[in-house]
Every structure is written in structure tokens, then in C-alpha cells.
Amino acid sequence: MLKLTPHRGLGRLLALTLAALVALPPSLPLAASPAMEKLFYILKQKGSITADEYDLLIATMKAEDKTASKSTPAAAPAIAQRLEQTEAKVESLESTLLNTKGQIEELTRVSDNTSPSTLTKTDLDALLSDKWYERVKVRGYVQTRFVGIMGDDDNPGYNQANDSLASDSSGIGIRRGRLVFSGDVTDHVFLYLQADYNASVGGSSALQARDIYADISLDPAREFRVRVGLSKVPYGFSNMQSSQNRYALERPDALNSAVEGERDMGAYLIWAPYEKRNLFKDLVKMGLRGSGDYGVLSLGVFNGQGINNSDRNGQLHYIAHAAWPFEVGGQIVEVGASYYNGRYVPTAATIGPAAPTPGGFTPTFDPTGVRDTRFAVNAILYPQPFGLEAEWTWGEGPQLSQDMRTITSQSLSGGFVQAVYRHVFPNQAEFIPFVRWQTFDGARKFAANAPRNRVDELALGFEYIPYPELELTLMYATGTRTNTVDNPAVVGAARYRDVNYHYLGIQAQINF
């Protein structure tokens, strides 16, 4: 596509005009008119000709004019008139190009759709008046992944809660297939809709709503917002970071066990100064893998039962979240803290019979819910080029008792540390090696019977981005984790066994 730069296009047009005039036949010689001198002056000011060349042209033009005026005195006025007309057209073209450039620059300020636009009401009214379709953006990504699992031959049953493709066997599948519609549909309302092709519903892949929410601005600067609908619960950092931007293939268990699926029905009051909102956006636009704009401070309520699950006890979870990104010494750092409290209603399933104990039983729990409260802190040094992430959570949550007869609230703790190095090549391709250690000792409350889950894992890998539309990731992990799926072939508490494993994941992510 041909790209026009106003000043460069003007210089080329004037140079072509001059060349055409110089090439005129002898019957139409150059005239030393004020318009011609002005044209040469413009070329000199634009840098198309040097000062010496300007002086030479003026001198030559005047010398030729003395000879030409004797034979063709009537030609000069005609040429001068043509030059004046050409100059007027050039000035009009320059004005049009500059105006177009200004409009393009304004349009680039429209929301990047990771959060509502920070444009003022006046800006939006001027740019998008009566053009609602210009406010909505469609984008998405697809993750195709190969997963290979190698576990203990005498201790099968590997299960990674947040990786729907990870099981006892290897395979290729679509991990995520996301399609997003978002934009400022009015001056006060930002709408975000996201669907996932490969969401797990009843053990099968299905098309599922991942986000359906609206942000309602309460002030012209859009620093105060109310978010209502199905959206991410503002807890921690890694939970809110998009899967499209994460280095490791899956989120750490300690943080993700708080809100598996990261989302729930809720309502939140969100505040962030204008400058911080722009910084949140820049962390994503610059390729630094920020979490997105969830505000500097968020207060709200949510059902607490997980994504696309209705409330079961009429008691909401209450949450508070704070995040503060800032620049220091040329680096960008973000610190944050989160807290929530509520009562969670677990899912109890019959624990099947196993010799020598005949028959089965179902764990019991308080029907009004089990105490579920957590606190998390995080610190992020964004990779410029070296980066470091650390996050930790602790609290109490539903967990199956050791005799597997009851589900009660028990303590939990865990977190992760991740080091990253980001290298950007001259052609803008990126190579990002990373290493992450994670640990967790708590329960997977969203699994049937909320069994205890012990995780100790070391993962390393790299991401290669040849161009923005394609991201390739290779990750190897090894460690120990609990199989949180009941194994009826085993007696007693060992039904939920710890498994030593080696995990290999290869992923291609297509962005569009």
C-alpha cells in the first residue's frame, strides 16, 4: 500500500513540477516571474534544493529570460498563471494530507479494547458521532497444543486442574479458541463479550461464554467505573493476566485454585487515575505482558461458585483488590494485594467401594457453605529486558478431611516465582526464555469432594514470536502433584495419590 507523508509528498510534487517546467520546449521559455522565484524559494525551504542551487537557478532563469523576452513576450504571463494555479493545488494537497494525518493520529487513541477508552467525551463525540459500528472491535486467538505426560509406572493418575488437555496420555488439541467483541458502544458504556470454543462442560468441549460484562463510567474522565456481569474476579496478578499474554502454559495452582476459571458473576466499583489507566494499557501494548486494566482499587461482590455456576447459598463473596504500577530507574514495577471472604458450597460425590471396605459413602458439609477466605500479595518487575514475578497466597478454604467423611475449612498456602528474559531482534521478532517454580498445599475446592492438592513443580521453557500473529511456546515441567480425581481402585486416603511426573507442552498461538 502506498503511504503518503505530507511534507515528503509535497517535495516530490514540487520537484516533478519543476522538472516539467524545465523540460518545456523552447517556444515556452521560463520567465523570471515572482511566482517562479517563489517556487524555487519553497523548494529551498523544503530542502529539495540547496542554497547554491537556488542561486544558480535564479541566475540562469533571469539570463534566459532576457533572451526569451525578445521573441516570446506573451509566454511569461501564461506560464506564471499556470505556476500560480499549480502552487495553489499543492497548498491544498498539503492541507488535506496534514488533516488526514491528524485524524489518523486521533483514531489511534481509541480504546485498545483491553479496557474502556481513556478518550474524553468530547473526543469520542467528534470522532465517532453517529458511527456506533466504529466503536466495536473484533479480535481473538487460538491455542493449539501438544501435551506429553510421563509419570510413575506404578502410580498413574496425573491430573493438572487448569489444563484441560493434560491427562495420563499424550495428545494434540485446541486448548483455547477465543473470540472477543468489545468497544465503547456509547459515551458511558464499554461492552466486552468473549466466547471460548474449547471450554470444558461436563467433560466435553463446548462453546461457552467466558466474559459478558459492561463497564459504566461515572465521570467524564472515566476514572470511576462500575463493572457488572460475568468477568474475571480481581484476585491476584496471574489470575487476571490473559492466557494470551502469559509465558508459562498454565497458571500456578495456588492462585488459580482461588477462582478456577478466573471468572464469576459479580459487580465491582473500579477506580484508577487517568495516567495509571494509560500505563496499564501500555504494559500490554509494549509486549510486557501486563494484567490489563482492572483498576488501582477495586471493591465488589461475586457469587463465589465459579464461572457459569449459579449461587447456591444466597451468600455473596466480598473482595478488595489494589494494584500500583510505577516507573523507577527506567524499569516498570507493579505491586498489589487482594483479599476476599465468603462461604463456598462444594460438590460432594460418592466415593466408590474398594476392597476390603464394601459399599460407598458421600462426604458431608455445612449446607450453608464452608468458610472460604484468602489473601494474596504480588510484585512484578516487567522484563526490560530482565523480568521477575513473585506471588503468594494464604488463607482457609473447603478441604476433604483425612478420613474423607467431611468437607471443612482448612488452611492453605502457596505461590510462585518466575524469572524472564525478553530479547527483541532488529526485525522485532522476540525470544523469551523463562523459568518458574511453584508450590501449593491446600485444596482444589472446585473438584468433587474438594480433595487436598499438594504441588511442587519446576518448569522452564521459552517463547518465540517471529511476528505478532504467531507465538510458539515450548515448556518442560517436572515435580510432584496430587491426582485430584478419585481413584476407586485404591484404599483409603491414598485414593487421591501424589504423582511424580514429567510434562512436555508445545503450543502454537495464532492471534487475529
3-state SS record for 274-315: HHHHHHHHHHHHCCCCCCCCCCCEEEEEECCCCCCCCCCCCC
Three-state SS annotation for 17-82: HHHHHHCCCCCCCCCCCHHHHHHHHHHHHHCCCCHHHHHHHHHHHHHHHHHHHHHCCCHHHHHHHH
Q: Which CATH number fits domain 143-172+200-511: 1.10.3470, 3.30.70, 2.40.160, 2.60.40?
A: 2.40.160
- How much is the pLDDT for 358? 59
Most confident of 61-65, 169-173, 252-256: 252-256
Distance from C-alpha of 118 to C-alpha of 224, rounded to nearest angstrom: 11
Distance from C-alpha of 134 to C-alpha of 157, rounded to nearest angstrom: 51
User: What is the mean predicted confidence (pLDDT) over 391-406?
Assistant: 96
Query: Where is average pLDDT lowest: 234-243, 310-319, 354-363?
Result: 354-363
- Residue bearing cell 472515566: 222
Q: Burial letters for 400-421: b for 16+ Cβ neighbours within 10 Å, e otherwise?
A: bbeebeebbbbebebbbebbbe
Residues of the chain with CATH 2.40.160: 143-172+200-511
More confident residue, 489 or 124: 489
DSSP 8-state code for residue 247: S
Q: pLDDT tens for residues 21-56? A: 444 444 444 444 666 776 777 676 656 677 777 777
Task: Please give the grid coordinates belonging to residue 259.
Answer: 477462582
- How much is the pLDDT for 483? 86
Query: Where is average pLDDT lowest: 92-101, 241-250, 295-304, 499-508?
Result: 92-101
User: What is the mean predicted confidence (pLDDT) over 112-135?
Assistant: 60
Asked if 347 and 484 touch (Cβ cutoff 8 Å), the reply is: no
Show Cβ contacts of residue 510 under 8 Å, excluding neighbours closer than 6 positions: 141, 142, 144, 469, 470
More confident residue, 17 or 77: 77
How many other β-carbons are positioned within 10 Å of the β-carbon of residue 202? 5
User: What is the mean predicted confidence (pLDDT) over 383-389?
Assistant: 97
pLDDT band at 479 (very low <50, low <70, confident <90, very high): very high
Across all residues in the chain, what is the average pLDDT? Answer: 82
Give this prediction's pTM: 0.73
- How much is the pLDDT for 331? 94
Whether pLDDT at 107 is above 70? no
Strand partners, 323: 336
- How much is the pLDDT for 31? 46
Whether pLDDT at 65 is above 70? no
Task: Please give the grid coordinates belonging to residue 113.
Answer: 479494547
Torsion (CA) 211, 212, 218, 222 in degrees, nearest 10: 50
pLDDT band at 121 (very low <50, low <70, confident <90, very high): low
More confident residue, 506 or 39: 506
